[in-house]
A and B are shown apart, each in its own frame.
Chain A
Amino acid sequence: MLFNSAEFLLVFLPAVLLVYFLLPHRRQNAFLVVASCIFYASWDWRFLFALLFTTGIDFYCAKRMEASISNGLPQAGRRRYLYISLATNLGLLGFFKYFNFFTQSMHDLLALFGLQVPFETLDIILPIGISFYTFQALSYTIDVYRGQFHATRSFWDFFLAVLYFPHLIAGPIQRAALLLPQITHPRHPTRDQVFDGAHLMLWGFFKKVYIADNLAPIVDGNFALSSAGGGNVALGVLAFTFQIYCDFSGYTDIARGIAKIMGFEFVLNFRLPYFATNPSDFWQRWHISLSQWLRDYLYISLGGNRDGAFRTYRNLMITMLLGGIWHGAAWNFVIWGFYQGILLIGHRAVSPALSAAERTLRLHGTPLSLVLRIASMFILTCYGWLLFRASSLAQISEMTVALAHPLRGFDTGTFQKILVLISPLVIVQVIQYRTGELIFVRLPWFKPSLRAVFYGALLYAMLFLGGQPQAFVYFQF
């Protein structure tokens, strides 16, 4: 049941909201558990048991760790439970997501040395959302282990924190520490929350249905060309740059909007990422819940930037490589992670020199400098999406070589189409960037009558000008 399906929008969501607002707090939670189970089971009910199993283990481990802390026992005593939780969650994730990838890669590696080892891949179906809910659950046990959060007494509250349907499939990755208190306390959504939630949902659907779904055929077409010219590659990558953003941020907006209407506050996942001025800035704007998770639970655990430049670079690279492979079991995601690592390291290394050069040229802090930084980072980001979207290493290599002739195969009609599709987004984001107000309809000059016109146009574009419905890109992760 996709957010953009009729079943969800016309049946599931209205029914859930109606019943939810009729129930008292504790029953709301119980009802949300049932509704979320139905939502998840609409893909494959069998994976509910895997989810129940891992959350059961995490709940038990957290409880034991909490008891250990209460009894003043040393950290070593509770480490065992952390390892059990890590092994269970990462073990299942590793099996479902990476087993075939590693087996195949090992086989290929041995073949390089002339060793032919017979192997078999398994016909494994990836439980939907496993990468997201595994990280969500792990944040809970790690926080309890670190003594940063108290274990909850109610299994069902914890189960709901992991299972809650708006964020279950593709995030944002909600840490239990942020979500559990909202589950245990009564929620009284305000009128502003409901309006903001509805606005986020509409804007999210617009980005998904009008922009991302209309860009999808352009992307698919250009990435499927057997001998693409540089122009085809550039257009395909440009279209994918906006497709993936509108698809993923659209999903997040819808998820945040639904949660807001029910009185939950989700973390911000995107803050105008294509306005980033450098790689580090980009990761504070793109998939923020993942980059913060990786920073807090991986990068800092590895030592962060505490032990000199080399170790900082090493830690950055490990974090980004693992962040890359988190997205999918394929070499292009590893390369994308490597590329992001190189960008972060490179930026860290050359940043002082760049600033000095800007000062010398008297560009520091000028609008021109800002535009140049944003444009440079945008181009680097676009190339990253080429690595991300390509289906093989050979394709990455061919497309990269083709970019040497960026006008070959450049179709102005396709370019115009892309511009028409993304122009509403660009206009809105320039306003958001300049005013700093992400819920832009709150701006004083956005009078109610103008809002009605804006929502009318948005609704029309969504309902009648949308592309062929596509599954959300991040569902595969």
Chain B
Amino acid sequence: MKTAIRWIGLAAILMLTLEIAARLDDWYRYDADLLRPYDIETLFGPSTFGRTGVPGARFAKWRMNSMGFRGPEPVAGRPNIITFGASETFGMYESPDHEYPRILEDLLAKRGEPVNVLNAGIPGMRLGTGAAYLDDALTRTHARTVVIYPSPAHYIGVKTPYCGRPSRPVATPHGLLSQVRIAGKARNLIKGILPPGILDGLRRMSIDWEIRHESVLTRIDPISLETFRADLECAIDAVQGRDANAVLVTHATAFGDHINADDRMLLTAWRASYPDFAEEGFLDLENRANAIIRDVAMRRGLHLADAATGIPRGSEYFADFVHFTDKGARAMATLVSENIPGTSTERNPPGGG
């Protein structure tokens, strides 16, 4: 008994040392607060629009400016462009300042159009919930152009549009991983070093556990797609309501227009976020959602950047199933820059609208 207590005590000292080391490391490297929670959720907080960026917040490589957008402070006197979307827009895996909005700003500057590209992407944001936030952002920034890059997968299982629903502040979930910093670091480490086969096996087990009492959808419900369409229209209305141009971008994935045998693990990783949606349904969802984006763009006469066909598939461009590598972000920015209206003069989209 005495020995057991002694070992438990030593294990506790070891864990405490690891936790203190983690906090000191964050403090030294990122100037993080030693005592408060510190994870990616630090960047976001509850607001009247649900959950938005916290002005001036920092976490690891991510920095929010004084307006609560990711990136540097906008330069006064320049026109503003907003990029609106979820984690793909916000930027997850790219090197600092290599997320697509930053590169887009560089490309436009090189083209002789110095603008501020404001990254209003928020991980997990749906088009409909973000419409009010977008409206507010347009009011604050007087942006003349908004690039909308939707994430169709967020509409899996959704039956009613989010647009128009009253929004309420969403508390930032600071779980165990942010309270005990070593736990979060250990999780990332394990994800990074586990052999892909083992990680895949664990994901499959987790999916099987999650769906043990549920039926699995093999194809996106048409109602969910209509919901997606309604929210997309709603976001465009918000943009046009503020007399700005909307640029739509189809959704690109690491799979492109077909799924190879090698893509199975990647698909499982995607499915881990949507356990009750079968792997075979994702490509169909992407194709149908992109058809809606193209259709809406054509019908409303909006500029369209077809990322789904314009960005090559594969790990060179995608760090996972949908998030860009530096190269992917550059391809995305190039594509958008080629399809964006002139920032200084053009106010009306081609073909009216």
Contact = CB atoms under 8 A, between A and B. Distances in A.
Interface range on chain A: under 10, 10 to 19, 20 to 34, or 35 or more? 10 to 19
A448 B11 CA distance: 11
Contact of B18 (A6, A10, A451, A460): A460
A456 B13 CA distance: 8
B125 to A, nearest CB: 30
Contacts of A459: 14, 18
Interface string A427-455: 00000000000000000000011011101
Contact of B21 (A6, A449, A452, A460): A460
B25 A460 contact: yes
A11 B25 CA distance: 29
B195 A457 contact: no
Given A6-B193, A10-B195, A452 B14 contact: yes
A464 interface: yes
B291 interface: no
Nearest to A459: B18
B17 A6 contact: no
Given A449-B10, A464-B185, A456 B195 contact: no
Given A6-B194, A7-B195, A457 B10 contact: no
A9 to B, nearest CB: 8
A438 to B, nearest CB: 23
A452 B10 contact: yes
Contacts of A461: 21
B17 A464 contact: no
Contacts of A10: 193-195, 198
B189 A463 contact: yes
Interface string B1-31: 0000010011101111110011001000000
Contacts of B193: 6, 10
B13 A457 contact: no
A465 B18 CA distance: 12
A10 B201 CA distance: 15
The dominant DSSP class at the A interface is: helix
The dominant DSSP class at the B interface is: helix
A198 to B, nearest CB: 13
Contacts of A460: 17-18, 21-22, 25, 182
Nearest to A453: B17
A465 B195 CA distance: 20
A434 to B, nearest CB: 25
B16 A456 contact: yes
A465 B25 contact: yes
A464 B22 contact: yes
A455 B189 contact: no
A341 B198 CA distance: 51
Nearest to A448: B10
Chain A CB within 10 A, most for which of B9, B21, B185: B21
Interface in A5-55: 6-7, 10-11
Nearest to A9: B193
Interface of B: 6, 9-11, 13-18, 21-22, 25, 182, 185-186, 189, 193-195, 198
24 contacts: A6-B194, A6-B195, A10-B194, A11-B198, A449-B10, A449-B13, A452-B10, A452-B11, A452-B14, A452-B17, A453-B13, A453-B14, A456-B13, A456-B16, A456-B18, A457-B21, A459-B18, A460-B17, A460-B22, A460-B25, A464-B22, A464-B25, A464-B185, A464-B189
Closest 8 A/B residue pairs (Cβ): A456-B17, A460-B21, A452-B13, A6-B193, A456-B14, A452-B10, A452-B14, A453-B17
